[in-house]
Structures are given as C-alpha cells and as structure tokens.
Structure 1
C-alpha cells in the first residue's frame, strides 16, 4: 500500500502463470544486453536498446495496483494483463475470497472469480478499506487456516464475513 497524490494504491500481481511468464520475458533483455556487452569492447546500440526495454518492462510490471474511489462506487484496477485491468463497480462484487497469498473477486456478471496475488499488509488494508466502503454489499470468505490475522476479522466485522 502506497499513498500517492492523496490516493492509496494496493499493489497486486496476476495469476502465478502470467506472473512467471511476464517476469521471465521482462528479465530476458537484460541478459541479452549483458551478453552483447561482454562480447564487444564498447557499448553497442543494440545493448543500450535492450537495456531500455528491460527498464520499461520492469516499470510496467510494477504498475499493477488497485485504487478505491472514495466518492464513487468504483474500484480501479490497473495492469497490463488482459482481463485484469479496468473498472469494477463495488456494489456489483458478490463476494471476496481471501487466502494466505491471494484474493479472489467475484462479480455479479461472472461465475469465475479473478485471482490477484498480494502481500500480507497491502491485502489487509485493501480488504479493510473495501469492507468499510458503504457501497460494498458482498461477503468476505476466508479460505485456509485462520490465524491471528483472520481472527481479528471474525471478531470485529462479523456481519459480512464467513470462514471456511
């Protein structure tokens, strides 16, 4: 969770297969660039271009985040993976399943949920902010082992939470 220009950003990664493929493709240009640099005694143009491509792909890889609109009923999702970026109406979210490493968001439109991998603290703050939002009408389902992190949810926000 990062606060930029007065808005909180909750960073996420897509499903594990997309994440692995993307980061492998993002790191490949730097290795090719270093191999070209090793073969030549001077910095070639192709080595420099591949390094710029690497920097651009790494920057784009860190641009996946959620922003919850405070005055509207919209959850903004930024990212370059097809099917993940876009806007979601918060009141259309039927349920959110939270596990140790990921969250699954189910819309009224789709029966399959979208999986977003998040670290522990951004996920906690994102779920807290989303549940407190008055437009959220869905339920929160806790998947997996319920530890101290999930016990605080069960005690404080009992009305919208079910544990599995």
Structure 2
C-alpha cells in the first residue's frame, strides 16, 4: 500500500504461474547484457538496449495496483499495458474470498472470479476500504485454515465477514 498524489494504491501480482514467467522473462535481458559485457571490452549497443529493456520490464511489473476512487468505480491498473486502467463497478462485486496469499474477486458477470496475489497488510487495508465503501453490496469470505493469520479479519467489526 503506497500513497501517491493523495490516492492509496494496493499492489498485487497476477496468478502465480504468470508472475513467475513474467519476472523470469524480465530478468533475462540483464543477464544476457552482462554476458555480452563480459565477452567484449567495451559497452556494445546490444547490451545497452538489453539493459533498457530490463529497466522497462521491471517498471511495468511494478505498475499493478488497485486504486479505489471516490465514486463507485474500482480502478484496476494492468501491468502489461501501462496507463490502461480496467474499471470494475464496486456494486457489481458479488463476493470476495480471502486466503492467506491471495484474494479472489467475483463479479456479477464473472462467475469464475479473478485471483490477485497480495501481501498481508495491503490486502487487509484493501478489503477494509472496499467493505466500508457504501457501494459495496457483496460478501467477504475467508477460505483456508482459520489460524492466527486471520485474527486481523475475524476480530473485525464488519458484519459482512463470514468464515468457512
């Protein structure tokens, strides 16, 4: 969770297989660039271009975040297309499932749900901000083992929270 220009951003990563593939492909150019530097005594144009590609891919990788606006839209910034924000209306969210590592958001038109991996505290603050929004009509469900990890959720005063 980072506050930039007065707006809170809750960072996430996509499904685990996509995340691993993306970060492996984004780190590969720096190793190729370093190998080219090791082979040559001077900095070549190709190693410089590969280093720039590495910087751009890392920057794009950190551009995945939720941003809850003041009106009834939930802004979802996509990391693969910088500057593009997919919008989901908060009132169309029917259910949010919270696990230890991820949240799954179900909307009225998406039965399968979308998985977003988040760290513990940004996830808690995101769910708290979303459930206290006046437009949110859905339910919040905890999945997985109920242990000390979920104490911060189960001790919450929200009546929308149910445990399974």
**Same fold at TM > 0.5:** yes
Residue 154 of structure 1, CA deviation: 2.9
Cα contact 2:95–2:139 (8 A) shared by 1: yes
Cα contact 2:143–2:163 (8 A) shared by 1: yes
Tell me the residue number matched to 1:86. Answer: 86
Tell me if 1:76 matches 2:75: yes
Unaligned runs of 5+ in 1: none
**Measured at CA, do residues 81 and 48 of structure 1 come closer, stay the same or move farther in structure 2, by a change above 3 Å?**
closer
Is 148-157 or 52-61 further displaced after alignment? 148-157
Tell me if 1:147 matches 2:135: no
Tell me if 1:99 matches 2:125: no
The number of aligned residues is 162
CA distance in 1, matches of 2:96, 2:157: 14
Unaligned runs of 5+ in 2: none
CA distance in 2, matches of 1:146, 1:8: 28
Tell me the residue number matched to 1:136. Answer: 136
Tell me the C-alpha RMSD between the 2 structures.
1.6
Cα contact 2:63–2:77 (8 A) shared by 1: yes
